Amino acid sequence: MQFHYINKLIQLPEINVKNILFDDKTGVVYLSVEPIQYVQPCPYCGSHDVHRDGVLYHRHVRHLPLANWRTLLCIPAVNMECQECKAHFVWQYAFVPPKKRYTKAFQHQLMKQGQGVTVQSMSASQSVPYSTAERYFKNGLQAERKHTQMTCIQDAVQRHQLVLGIDDFAVRKGHSYNTGIHDLKGGNMLDIISGRKQEDLQAFQQTSSYMHLLNPVAVVMDLSYTYHKFVKETFPQAIRIADRFHVNRYVTDAMHAVRKEVQQKLSTQARKQLKRHHQLLETRYDALSKEDQTTVQTLLNYDNQLKAIYEWKEAFIDWYDLSLNAQQAKQMLEQWYRQGHRIQHKAVESCLQTIKNWETEVINYHRMRFTNAVVEGRHNKIKAIQRRHFFTRNRDVYENRILVECNWAYMQDII
Q: Please determine, for residue 266, whether its predicted confidence score (pLDDT) is greater than 80.
A: yes
Confidence of residue 288 (pLDDT cuts 50, 70, 90): very high
Q: In which domain, by residue range, is 24 found?
A: 4-101
Q: Please give the residue that has the higher pLDDT: either 43 or 390.
A: 43
> Residue 76: which residues within 8 A CB-CB, separation 6 or more?
33, 34, 35, 55, 57, 58, 59, 91
Q: Please determine, for residue 415, whether its predicted confidence score (pLDDT) is greater than 60.
A: no
Q: Please determine, for residue 289, whether its predicted confidence score (pLDDT) is greater than 70.
A: yes
Cα of 374 vs its chain's centroid, Å: 10
Q: Which amino acid is at 376?
A: E
Sign of torsion over alpha carbons 404, 405, 406, 408: positive
On whether residue 132 sits in a domain, the answer given is no
Decide: 188 and 207 in contact? Cβ < 8 Å.
no
253 and 356, same domain (yes or no):
yes
227 and 305, same domain (yes or no):
no
pLDDT per residue over 25-84, tens digit each? 989 999 999 999 998 999 899 999 999 988 989 999 999 998 889 999 999 999 999 999
300 and 341, same domain (yes or no):
yes
360 and 407, same domain (yes or no):
no
Of 330, 291, 329, 293, which is closest to residue 310 (Cα–Cα)?
Answer: 293
270 and 352, same domain (yes or no):
yes
252 and 359, same domain (yes or no):
yes
pLDDT per residue over 96-147, tens digit each? 988 889 998 988 888 777 766 777 888 888 888 888 888 888 887 888 888 8
Q: Please determine, for residue 391, whether its predicted confidence score (pLDDT) is greater than 90.
A: no
Q: What end-to-end distance do the CA atoms of the chain give, in Å?
A: 38
Among 59, 81, 101, the domain boundary falls at 101
Q: Please determine, for residue 335, whether its predicted confidence score (pLDDT) is greater than 80.
A: yes
Report the distance separating Cα 274 and Cα 271, nearest Å.
5
> Residue 414: which residues within 8 A CB-CB, separation 6 or more?
151
On whether residue 35 sits in a domain, the answer given is yes
Among 101, 125, 144, the domain boundary falls at 101
Q: Please determine, for residue 405, whether its predicted confidence score (pLDDT) is greater than 80.
A: yes
pLDDT per residue over 204-239, tens digit each? 988 888 998 999 999 999 999 999 999 999 999 999
236 and 250, same domain (yes or no):
no
- Count how many Cα atoms sit within 13 Å of the Cα of residue 26 in the half-sphere of its side chain: 10
On whether residue 119 sits in a domain, the answer given is no
223 and 264, same domain (yes or no):
no
Element (H, E) at 52: strand 50-66
265 and 225, same domain (yes or no):
no
214 and 248, same domain (yes or no):
no
pLDDT per residue over 343-378, tens digit each? 999 999 999 999 999 999 999 999 999 999 999 999
On whether residue 174 sits in a domain, the answer given is yes
Report the distance separating Cα 51 and Cα 84, nearest Å.
10
Decide: 254 and 347 in contact? Cβ < 8 Å.
yes
pTM of the model: 0.79
Q: Using a pLDDT cut of 90, give the percent of the chain over it.
A: 68
Q: Is 288 helix (H, G, I), strand (E, B) or coil?
A: coil
Flag the least confident range among 80-84, 247-251, 381-385. Answer: 381-385
How many other C-beta atoms can be found within 10 angstroms of the C-beta atom of residue 306? 21
Q: Please give the residue that has the higher pLDDT: either 3 or 260.
A: 260
The count of domains in the chain is: 3
On whether residue 110 sits in a domain, the answer given is no
On whether residue 215 sits in a domain, the answer given is yes
pLDDT per residue over 155-169, tens digit each? 999 999 999 999 999
Decide: 148 and 407 in contact? Cβ < 8 Å.
yes
pLDDT at 316: 96
Of 39, 37, 36, 34, which is closest to residue 19 (Cα–Cα)?
Answer: 34
163 and 49, same domain (yes or no):
no
On whether residue 111 sits in a domain, the answer given is no
303 and 399, same domain (yes or no):
no
On whether residue 112 sits in a domain, the answer given is no
Q: What is the CATH number of the domain that holds 381?
A: 3.30.420.10
